[in-house]
Amino acid sequence: MNGKILLYWLSTLGLCCLMLFSAQMYLFNFDVAAGFFERFGFPVEIIIPLAIAKLLAIFAILWNKVKWLKEWAYAGLFFDLVLATYAHATAKEFAVFAVPGLVLLIISYALGKKVRP
């Protein structure tokens, strides 16, 4: 297997697993997620829609049939991770999942243009 293909799939699956972990936490541990959101000053009403959006983004990226939808999925996850990084930084804590998620997203997106056009 080509190194680019392997790196693409490792980064893409890592990104999808990270987003799946986040979405399931939002859905099944709502009180914990609500505590984080309140601490960062975000409204708790966006937790469920954000979890659904993350699940839909995972599906769009892995399905890879509708190119514009995949582009929007990557864009949505990018903004989610950038805002999460900013929220953690303003709270004076390291964004344990957001920063590695951004790295995985950038690798996945860049290599996806070559591996799965």
Residue 20 banded pLDDT, cuts 50, 70, 90 = very high
Compute the C-alpha angle 61/22/67, nearest 5°. Answer: 10
pTM of the complete model? 0.91
- Residues 88-117: tens digit of each pLDDT: 888 887 778 899 999 999 999 999 999 987
- Taking CA atoms, 112 is separated from 40, 59, 83, 95, 108, in Å, by 33, 15, 23, 25, 6
Every domain of the chain and the residues it spans: 3-115
